[in-house]
Each structure stands twice: as structure tokens, then as C-alpha cells.
Structure 1
Amino acid sequence: MTTTAHANRPIVGVIGLGIMGSAMAANLVKAGFEVFGYDPVAASRQRLKKAGGHACKSVGEVAQHATHLLLSLPSEAALDQVCAELMATGLKGLIAAETSTLPEVCKQRNKTALAQHRITLLDCPLSGTGAQALTRDLAVYASGNAKAIRAMHAVFAGFARARYDVGDFGNGMRMKLVANLLVAIHNVSSAEAILMGARAGLDPATIVKVVADGAGGSRMLQVRGPMMVDRSWEDATMKVSTWQKDMALIQALLQATDTPAPLFAATQPIYNAAMAMGHGMNDTASVYDVLERLTQKAPRTKKRK
């Protein structure tokens, strides 16, 4: 296995080079880390090469070079597959920080399986959008083995502005779902506020600038407000279709904890409508389009004689 190439900096492997994974990998390269990465999509591997990283042909090849791994995966099936491939390498002592928003039970299942092969899995979901990932404006909610988390500190610092050690494995996902419940609400409320101001005759861009700097501001207004104003939701940093998965996880935790959440419940039809309107591949800022269309008068139907 390769030794560290930069003073006291581990070589990092990134498995999953989508919106979040590619941004993390690029920022780690900028921070001076040697980065090896894999994604089944050739274009994603090429993007890593352009950023200065090393593109690998398999999960196993990444693990041959790096003991400190970041997993950024789209589904439970993907996590199961990657963990199976890590176990098949026969390598010991790997630390893998799983950064995706996936069911806690899936992460726990793979943690147990990897432990039998002396591979440590951490539950470390991220707070932030793809756009925030590009500028290192992410927070890591790290949970699991404390020693392994300490070993990952420098890596987290290479792509995130903050790290919070939140305790036992699984607490990371629970904290992420708390954060995402607020994101769901703040995103829709930002769209409501901008639309009301625009219909009242205010300039939408000015609304975002002024309100974001006051008591009514939120990170979603700062991050997604400009996308709503510019109608640039085709450049997705969080696709509506992907967000539906997160919404389902939040709903499951609400039910499991018997938590009333009327504001969250009120946002669900808006995101469902975005899907129905063809915004599945667009950013969740497209909820603005949903609300805007609700203001349009429906055509009158002719009375039957």
C-alpha cells in the first residue's frame, strides 16, 4: 500500500464522483492531498483527472493506494456493492467515511460486515449543497469510532469548513435528517417570500440581497434564492428526484419518533408537484416555478346547457 506523499497527509480515495464526490476530490487536490478516485461513469473519472487526481478503474484499485476513503454514493445498492468490493480486496485497516444520505439501517449493516474484515466504516453525512461543496462550504456530521474519526480530521478539513463529532454511529444520519427537515421548509419558504415580494412590485434580486442580510435570512435563501431569481434551476446542485429520497427518510424518522411536523408536511406536495411538472432532474430551487404557476388563473370552463 502506498505511503503518504505529502508530509503528514494521508493519501485519500474517493469512491463516487458525482456532484458532491467530484467537488470533494477537487478540493482535496487543491489542499495538497494525493487523491485516487473511482466512479462507473467515465466522464466523472475524466473530470477527476482534469482536477489533478488519479482515476482508477475499480473500487479495489482505489483501496490499493489509499487507506483513508470517502464514499459518496447514490443508493443503498451502491453502498452494498462498494462495501462488498472493499471486503473482497482482503485489505485490512481501511477507514471509510460514508458521506451520503442513506438509511441508517443500510449503513449499520455494512459497518458490521466491514468490521469482520477489519475495515472501519464511519457515518459522516454532509450538510451543504453541490454548489457549497465547490467552495468547501460543507459541514461534516461525523459519527462512529472516535479513533477513526480523529484519523480522518485532516481529510475532512481538506474539503469542508467544519466538522462536528456527534457521537455513536448513526447519529450523523439522524443529525443530517434534522438539518434536512429545515432545508425542506426553508427552501419552500424562500420561494414563497421571493414570489410575494415580486408580485408586490419588488425586484427579486434585491429581495434576496436585502432579506438574506437580516433576521429573515437563511442559508437556503442565500444559496437557492439567486437560482430562483435567475431561474437557473437546470444547473442542479440537488436534484428534485434525489431530494425525494431524503424527504422519505425524514418522514420515516418522524413516524418512528412520533414527531408532529406540520410545516414539513406542507412542503411535500410542493416537491411532488415539481416532480410532476418535469423538474426531477432540476435543482430543488425549481419549487419557485411550482408556486409561480399556482398564481396563474386556471381557464374558465364553459357552463353546460
Structure 2
Amino acid sequence: MTKIGFIGLGIMGGPMAANLVKAGFEVTGYNRGRSKVDKLVEAGGRGAVSIAEAVREADIVITMLPDSPDVEAVVLGEDGVLAHAREGALLIDCSTIRPDVSREISGRIRALDAPVSGGEQGAIDGSLSIMVGGEAADFEAAKPVLDAVGGTIVHVGGPGAGQTVKAANQLIVAGTIELVAESLVFLEAHEVDTEAAIKVLAGGLAGNRILDRKAAAMVKREFTPGFRVELHDKDLGIVQAAAREAGVVIPLGAAVAQLMASLKAQGHGGLDHGALLKLVAQLSGRE
């Protein structure tokens, strides 16, 4: 039985760890908030009170953390994964962080960068899209574990490649949410039946997963987070930095990054990123 140490049991990490338990892996979880560790224990996993306890006997260590500094501290810190994992253990970092940080980590420990897409529901369903960077042999070794949490799992290149593809994913998602938000406010202003409009738009060339998964809640102004504004704001910062590094111009991406930053600055960082609709309505004088 493969032993897994799982660090970061939040909105995404908690369901992922639970799905690994369901798949028959021995999972020991650690989170700064004890209640989330207890939830994993209820699902059949084991709880740890420290990073050291979570990773000491693990064959594979999975991290799902908010940002680059968090991953650096947990993995490379004095009392982190590198200090306590057994020799030969494989790190799978499912966080969304800067590609250069993933490359740095892979130079210090056997590691894959494996950010995910699909939101909370995808994590619950075990249907996440996972873009994996790192050595091909490590990817093959990790595949059975990744299969337990994902539906589409692709090795996209060497260290840092997974994070680069995830940055592109976040650019597309943010732009699509913004256009859906603008369309919904436009439809409301014309007093169109938005439910009917969403149905027909989703069936044509404009169809996309934002319409399928988020539009109904956006119309109802229900912004319980599946993915928080503050995290998407962070991700768009990664996109812009990586674009500058490559000499690539992303004018629409820069615009939506400013809109996401504005939404966060107004105190809405804890809402779902579908709350871009609030900003569009406000700019239109309708909220």
C-alpha cells in the first residue's frame, strides 16, 4: 500500500485527500486548522499534528497550499518536507505557484509540479484536470495516485511546465468569467429571461464550462467560494510575471487582472471569482 502524506486540507485538498482514502491509499493529513484534519480522519484517513509526522513514513507527499511562499516554507523550511521526508520520497505539489519556484524545488527534492483545475466540485468528484511537470519516470510512478483525484492527467514537460500550463488555464478562466459576467449584466439590462438565455448560449458556439457551472449562481448573486477572488488575483499576478519574462503581451489578460484586483481591493477577496459580476454591475450603475 502506498503511503501518502497530504499537507493542506482546504477546499481542494480536503476532498482530494478523501478520494485518495477511498481509492485505498494510506493517507496521513496535516493542516494548520485541526478541524480539517479531523474531517479527513472521519473519512478514514489519519491525522498528523506536524509536517514531520505527516511525511516521515510517506512514499509520496502531496501539497495543496495557497501561494509560492507557503510551498517554499512547507517544503524547504527548517522543519519542512525536505527535512523530514524519507530518502526517495516523491513530492507532488498540486498548489498553483510560480514556475520558477517549482523549478527551484525540483532541484532540491524529487518532485512533480501538478497544479489542478476543476474547482471544488472537480475535487469532490475526483475529476480534476491535472497538468504535470517533471521527469517522465516520476510521472509514471505518480500516475496511480493522480488517477484517484483526476480525470484528465497530462505530462506537459519538465519541471515548472505544469505551473506554466496552469497559468494559461487561469488566464482563460478569468477572461471567460469576465465575459460571462458582462453578458449576464447585459441580458439583465434588457430584461431577458436569463435562465433561458444561459440554456441556449450554452448549447451554441458560446458554450463553456463557466456557463455550465457558474452562470446560474452568478445570476442569483450566490458567491460561496469554490475558488476565491484573492487566489485568482494571485494567479493572475503569476501570469503577468511569466508573460513579462517571456516577452509576451497579454492585453486582455492585463485588463481582467486589474478587474480581479479591484474586486479584491473592495473587500471581496473571500468570494467566489464569479463575483466579477458584482464589479460589472457596479461599473454599469446597476448595483
Structure 1 length as normaliser, TM-score? 0.88
Give yes or no for the alignment of 1:251 onto 2:240: yes
Unaligned runs of 5+ in 2: none
Alignment of 1:186-265 (within 5 A): 186-233=176-223, 235-265=224-254
Deviations 1:30-80 (A, max 9, x none): 333322111111121122122221111112212234212211012223222
SS at structure 2 position matched to 1:237: coil
SS at structure 2 position matched to 1:139: strand
Q: 2: CA distance between counterparts of 1:297 and 1:132?
A: 33
Out of 155, 162, 165, the position equivalent to 1:172 is 162
SS at structure 1 position matched to 2:12: helix
Deviations 1:182-230 (A, max 9, x none): 1110010111112212222222233323322221011222222122022
Question: Offset of 1:248 from its aligned partner?
Answer: 0.5
* The structure with more radius of gyration: 1
Q: 2: CA distance between counterparts of 1:221 and 1:83?
A: 37
Alignment of 1:37-56 (within 5 A): 37-56=29-48
Give yes or no for the alignment of 1:81 onto 2:70: no
Q: Check conservation: 1:12, 1:155, Cα contact below 8 A.
A: no
Unaligned runs of 5+ in 1: 5-9, 115-119, 299-305
Q: Check conservation: 2:58, 2:85, Cα contact below 8 A.
A: no
Give the direction of change, closer, same or farther, for the CA distance of 1:75–1:12 in structure 2 (3 Å limit). Answer: same
Question: Offset of 1:273 from its aligned partner?
Answer: 2.5
Q: Report the counterpart of residue 291 of structure 1 in structure 2.
A: 280
Give the direction of change, closer, same or farther, for the CA distance of 1:66–1:228 in structure 2 (3 Å limit). Answer: same
Identity %: 29
Give yes or no for the alignment of 1:113 onto 2:138: no
Q: Report the counterpart of residue 115 of structure 2 in structure 1.
A: 125
SS at structure 2 position matched to 1:162: strand
Q: Check conservation: 1:97, 1:124, Cα contact below 8 A.
A: yes
Question: Offset of 1:90 from its aligned partner?
Answer: 5.9
Question: Offset of 1:278 from its aligned partner?
Answer: 1.9
SS at structure 2 position matched to 1:214: coil
Q: What is the one-letter code of the residue matched to 1:253?
A: A
Q: What is the one-letter code of the residue matched to 1:20?
A: M
Structure 2 length as normaliser, TM-score? 0.93
CA RMSD after TM alignment: 1.8
Q: Check conservation: 1:36, 1:65, Cα contact below 8 A.
A: no
How many residue pairs were aligned? 284
Q: Check conservation: 1:127, 1:138, Cα contact below 8 A.
A: yes
77-86 or 49-58, larger mean C-alpha shift? 77-86
SS at structure 1 position matched to 2:154: strand
Q: What is the one-letter code of the residue matched to 2:204?
A: G
Q: Report the counterpart of residue 90 of structure 2 in structure 1.
A: 95
Q: Check conservation: 1:186, 1:221, Cα contact below 8 A.
A: no
Question: Offset of 1:297 from its aligned partner?
Answer: 7.0
SS at structure 2 position matched to 1:113: coil
Q: 1: CA distance between counterparts of 2:85 and 2:255?
A: 49
Question: Offset of 1:296 from its aligned partner?
Answer: 1.8
Q: Report the counterpart of residue 56 of structure 2 in structure 1.
A: 64
SS at structure 2 position matched to 1:282: coil
Give yes or no for the alignment of 1:150 onto 2:140: yes
Q: 1: CA distance between counterparts of 2:238 and 2:85?
A: 33
Q: What is the one-letter code of the residue matched to 1:75?
A: D
Q: Report the counterpart of residue 104 of structure 1 in structure 2.
A: 99
Q: 2: CA distance between counterparts of 1:297 and 1:95?
A: 51
215-224 or 168-177, larger mean C-alpha shift? 215-224
